[in-house]
Amino acid sequence: MKKRGRGRPGRGSRPSQVVALRLTEEELSVVDARAEREGKTRSKIIREALAESGA
């Protein structure tokens, strides 16, 4: 059995990186409203927005 380390579990087989992002109160309110409406996390909403933009 593989022993797991501390912290959050990974998002998949590839390594990920934490990125700090500055948002205005208005931008954060938009992200939070969508996250609440869709039952998702802030991070998930931001990742989806990046994917939708073709990034």
pTM above 0.75, yes or no: no
Does the pLDDT value for residue 49 go beyond 90?
yes
Q: What is the pLDDT of residues 17-46, one digit of tens each?
A: 999 999 999 999 999 999 999 999 999 999
pLDDT of amino acid 40: 98
pLDDT of amino acid 14: 79
- Tokens read off for 5: 């380390």
Report CA-CA distances (Å) from 48 to 1, 7, 18, 31, 44.
Answer: 34, 23, 16, 11, 6
Does the pLDDT value for residue 6 go beyond 90?
no
- Identify which has the larger pLDDT, 17 or 4: 17
